[in-house]
Structure 1
Amino acid sequence: MATPTAGVAAAVADAHRREWAFVLAATVRVTRDLDVAEECVQEAFAAALTDWATGGVPARPGAWLTTAARRRALNVLRHAGVERRHLPLLVEDRVDGGVAPSLVDDAHGYPDDRLRLVATCCHPALDRPAQVALTLRLVCGLTTPEVARAFLVPTATMAARITRAKKKIAVARIPYRVPPPAELPERVDAVLAVVHLLFTTGHTAPAGEELVRRDLVERSVELARMLRRLLPHDPAVAGLLALLLLTDARRETRTGPDGRLLLLEEQDRARWDRPAIAEGVALVREALRGRPPSRYALQAAIAAVHAESPSWDDTDWAEIVALYGVLTQVWPSPVVALNRAVAVGFARGAAAGLAALDELAGEPQLAGYGYLPAARADLLRRLGRVGEAREAYGEALLLTENAAERAFLDARLRALG
């Protein structure tokens, strides 16, 4: 058996990031069982480590992996025999009536299999947390700990949630299909939440050496554009796409040449993606016409204030605080309250920001959230309360796993002496 080289291991890792959703979605069509499909896909990736070491990395890794996974799936079906007939399986509804032409794969003539998988995971028979968690796990290939961090819950809790969701899909005989546009609105909120969480996970990776996981960011933008084509008049969809574009427009300036994290005030705004900003601002205007405005429209409006400000000093913090106030009413969330407190610190001074932040000290959902002590440390630093700031930076470091963010926090801590 050939030992995989570093190059082969890197190729398999890259294929996992880029091709997981395609391979799994295609394999589910064979197995009609999520667990079996996932096992077959995992075996295909494991086989790639040895097979590619011998025969070289294929020109089309995704096609190789899909073929390998589907072959394993067919073998499972053959060996399952009679027993499988008595198990609850996904129903493949072959009628995808009303699917928008833009969602059809030109080469194969059927709707994007990833969209089948998203629609199945976001079925109304599942509750919202299960919909989002399952889609992040299956469609996006995130590990269970990564999904747990996105939800601010323990890994064991998330593992149990995902397992229950899979069982419910099988028992409820949920169809594996893209719903026609007339049925999509009832699921759109869950799908948007999936795409948004995917983006935030990629925008600032929960762990690892790099600040950004470009593959997740690009996948989320692609899915948002897909939804925009399917639901062109939905203001929430417009708001989400706007939010992603405006936030990602700063991607190339978020770290320096040495990999150091750069705050918004340090970034070279001349290097921001102006076409993306222009598209995002136009979408914000459209999205804000919805009544009440969606949380995505309001978040995008906040991002637009930053994007259109010519410099850090020109930022309209009063408008940002006001927008966060509306967002808090539309979408009450401790993370939104934290972000509002930070904005208050810039609009009204560090003491006012710290007072708003300290109101969140007992919020259980923020107990393991590293950005709370990090924000508190910065406000304390600005107030000259060095000892307390040092302690807060230490707490933030304990709760932070991303290398770029840890390096930033460590530098701030050392600068305090």
Structure 2
Amino acid sequence: MNHTPHFRTVLSCTLVVVTLGAVATACGEPDGHPLAAQPYDAARQVSFNADAGDHKVDPDKPLEVTTKSRSGRITDVTVIDDAGRYLAGELSADGLRWRSTAPLAAGARYTMRVATEDEDGAPGLRVLTFETKPATRFLTAEFGPKSGTYGVGQPVTAKLSTAVKDKEGRRVVERALRVSSKPGVEGSWYWVDDKTLHYRPKDYWPTGTVVNATSNLAGVKVGNKLYGGRSEPLRLTIGDRIEAITDAASHSMVVKRNGEVINTIPVTTGKPGFATRNGIKVVLGKESFVRMRSTSIGIAEGSSESYDLPVYWATRVTWSGEYVHAAPWSVGSQGFANVSHGCTGMSTADAAWFFKTVKEGDIVEVVNSYGDIMDTFGNGFGDWNLSWDKWREGSALTGGTPQETGGAAVAARLRPAV
């Protein structure tokens, strides 16, 4: 189907008084320049390898526009889909051929405008609309966490429906997964594994930030016969900056809100052989009651280290079972010695206060412990333990080949330890 656009030119006529007394009428454009020629219909001058019609164009094939004769040339080609995405292309130096240099989107409707000129320099125009065939294989992204209010340390996650291993495919995905915030901050994606990405800013989110994650993957070619599908957007609000810093050497926790100390709590952390992990962790969730059994972390029943305890006001910081929780059985050691199996224990009253004060995404940091550094991935959110330069290395757009770190926590690591 050919569409010839209708142009409307507004003429202005001006009375010109000549010094000899004659009166003449001059007509032209409002600025006084001669009228530009109306473009002719260039339908007979150019041809496409994908003519308009009822059939749909194969998005896996490049789009080409050529002149039918050497009596004229192509001067410009613009191709845009209904989502506002432009199709990149290249025009030959002689103006006889234009070819797309980027893949078409699948299941999309395009409008193509081809500008030409004939041997006399007169402008021509051809407008064509067409649709591409829908994809048969789709890649979608599920953003996390759920929409809501979170702490300043909360990363945005994206779980892909299909693994993407090659770097070019990862670039396509990363360009299409957009995270914006108000106020704006510098941030980047990190490929945890072939199906998982984490996004964090350079520094903690500012208090009051509104974060939006959206996908522009729909119809975009990711790989061989693989195209992006539609994904649900995500909206987060960042609350107060809550930070809990536990010093395992002094057996105390300092809790800050927006930089001001609001509480100092005597605690106990992991004893030798069960030392609490050092580093920055992020609150994963809260459970008012948990039954903690030593067998869940590999301690044999009946051994000197075995336990089976009802635990209240438990704030989870790792998937493997590290919590901040009430430990009334160790009140005598809190503030003086480390006697736990890796968790941070405190009095019931302090644990209840902590439980009610923090939210998912808040920061819990441990310093001066003999334990290992918190895992970056796989056992919660240890994302902030990487420097910004190291974090950017995990991006397909700004870094090298991402580390194969294995992002998903396994079921065997989901058990609590006191």
Tell me which interval the TM-score lies in, with the shorter structure as reference length: under 0.3
CA radius of gyration, larger in: 2
User: Larger relative CO (CA 8 A, sep 6+): 1 or 2?
Assistant: 2
After TM superposition, the score normalised by the length of structure 1 is 0.23
After TM superposition, the score normalised by the length of structure 2 is 0.23
Higher helix share: 1
